[in-house]
């Protein structure tokens, strides 16, 4: 046998992995690699052994992909090939999984976080130890499943200059320094959290920052940061702590700056009301297609609060609470850029401070 190419090396790893699963601890990985591929180079032998051991620990076969810092998303669409996102582009990975391997993978994901996924609860969200978000969908909901989607925790310390021109960066710095209440908007994968992280880095290091997140991702260089993370209900349906509850509690913790990782539920009403009671310089993100859509979405989410407030009253509160909207988009080249900064000038109205072209 000549030195193996990547495809044949992957087949060798898969073959020995199955031998280990069938034979248990009695199988010597090093001996099997030598026996089945005696002409491997020393580097290939070490690589094969490492990949096999990775399959037997953590998330098994996915450990190989998780070790690649360039992968930002992992998508398993049932048995077969795995898709990954690199630099904003989807590509098919050489690794393929069978149904029993996916089932084992799901068990390794949900067991440590105390969640349950079965026919009664076919959907589950969770967070891996490294902070990555994971979503699992199993049959009968997943017609060709099970499906597993992992959004890697690869938040990098990009500066604001990575997203915008010097003029735009200057405007954002001024807004932060003046204590403007700001929302970063954009679509899924546009870079909202990364941009929020870059903006928050400009906050005065002497201020107390309290963050509220569904899944902890934000990383601030400040010495005085208090981090709160929501908790889903247990398998028994108890113990849930919502973003809304954490926002309310954060206001009792004397924040100089409140940072809500993402507003996507009825916590929008509590946040808006907090901003109208003197809490300045707060930051958050919202899924939206543009600045005007941000206001509409916040209106809808605030109505979910169930207080009975009329829409006009909520619109007025949002306009009084929110100052600046920074909209970020991802271009066809995979790069994220600030496309617009808008000032909220009244209920449902914004005025563009600046706009950029791709």
**Residues 209-248: tens digit of each pLDDT:** 999 998 788 889 899 999 998 887 766 667 888 999 999 9
Give CA 61 to chain center in angstroms.
21
In Å, what is the CA distance from 223 to each residue of 111, 154, 201, 220, 257? 34, 22, 11, 8, 13
Per-residue pLDDT tens over the stretch 252-279: 999 999 999 999 898 999 889 888 888 8
**Residues 178-207: pLDDT tens digits?**
999 999 999 988 889 999 999 999 999 999
* H or E stretch at 350: strand 349-355
Tell me what the mean pLDDT of segment 31-37 comes to: 85
Contact 140, 122 (CB under 8 A): yes
Q: pTM of the prediction?
A: 0.71
Give the pLDDT mean for 315-344: 91
Q: For 54-108, write each residue's pLDDT tens digit.
A: 666 678 778 888 888 889 899 999 999 999 998 778 999 988 888 988 988 898 8
DSSP-derived secondary structure letter, 103: H
Band the pLDDT of 356: cuts 50, 70, 90: low
Residues 130-153: what's their mean pLDDT? Answer: 90
Q: What is the pLDDT of residue 275?
A: 85
CB atoms within 10 A of CB 251: 17
Q: In angstroms, what CA-CA distances link 100 with 94, 97, 251, 343, 347?
A: 18, 8, 47, 53, 54
Alpha helices in the chain (DSSP H): 6-23, 29-36, 42-55, 63-66, 99-110, 166-177, 192-200, 243-250, 267-275, 291-303, 311-321
Q: Check residue 357 and give its pLDDT.
A: 47
Distances (CA, A) of 337 to 25, 82, 276, 288: 51, 29, 30, 15
User: Which pLDDT score, from 0 to 100, does residue 358 have?
Assistant: 42
pLDDT at residue 73 in the model: 93
Task: With a cut of 50, say whether residue 35 has pLDDT above it.
Answer: yes
The pLDDT assigned to 3 comes to: 53
The three-class DSSP label of residue 41 is: coil
Confidence of residue 1 (pLDDT cuts 50, 70, 90): very low
**Residue 21 predicted with pLDDT over 80:** no
> What's residue 178's pLDDT?
94
CB-hemisphere CA count at 13 Å for 219? 10
List of residues 6+ apart from 172 with CB closer than 8 A = 160, 164, 199, 202, 326, 338, 341
Question: What's the whole-number average pLDDT of the chain?
Answer: 86
Confidence of residue 296 (pLDDT cuts 50, 70, 90): very high
- Residue 39 pLDDT > 90, yes or no? no
């Amino acid at each position: 046998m000549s030195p193996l190419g990547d495809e044949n090396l992957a087949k060798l790893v898969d073959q020995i992995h199955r031998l280990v699963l069938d034979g248990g601890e009695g199988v010597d990985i090093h001996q099997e690699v030598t026996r089945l591929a005696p002409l491997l180079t020393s580097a290939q032998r070490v690589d094969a052994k490492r990949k096999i051991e990775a399959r037997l620990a953590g998330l098994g076969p996915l450990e190989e992909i998780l070790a690649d810092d360039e992968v930002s998303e992992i998508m398993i669409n049932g048995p077969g090939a795995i898709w990954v996102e690199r630099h904003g582009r989807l590509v098919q990975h050489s690794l393929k999984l069978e149904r029993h391997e996916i089932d084992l993978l799901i068990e390794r994901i949900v067991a440590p976080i105390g969640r349950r996924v079965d026919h009664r609860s076919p959907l589950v969200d969770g967070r891996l130890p490294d902070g990555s978000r994971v979503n699992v969908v199993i049959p009968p909901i997943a017609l060709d499943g099970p499906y597993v989607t992992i959004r890697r925790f690869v938040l990098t310390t990009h500066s604001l200059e990575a997203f915008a021109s010097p003029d735009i960066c200057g405007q954002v710095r001024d807004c932060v320094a003046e204590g403007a209440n700001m929302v970063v908007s954009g679509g899924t994968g546009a870079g909202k959290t990364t941009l929020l992280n870059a903006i928050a880095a400009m906050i005065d290091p002497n201020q107390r920052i309290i963050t509220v997140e569904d899944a902890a991702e934000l990383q601030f260089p400040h010495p005085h940061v208090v981090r709160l993370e929501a908790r889903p209900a247990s398998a028994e349906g108890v113990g849930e702590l919502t973003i809304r509850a954490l926002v309310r509690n954060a206001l009792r913790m004397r924040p100089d700056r409140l940072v809500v990782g993402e507003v996507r539920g009825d916590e929008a009403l509590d946040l808006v009301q907090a901003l109208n009671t003197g809490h300045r310089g707060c930051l958050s993100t919202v899924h939206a297609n543009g600045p005007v859509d941000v206001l509409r979405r916040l209106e809808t989410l605030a109505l979910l609060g169930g207080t009975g407030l009329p829409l006009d009253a909520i619109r007025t509160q949002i306009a009084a609470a929110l100052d600046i909207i920074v909209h970020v988009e991802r271009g066809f080249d995979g790069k994220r850029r600030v496309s617009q900064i808008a000032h909220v000038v009244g209920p449902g109205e914004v005025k563009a401070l600046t706009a950029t072209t791709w």
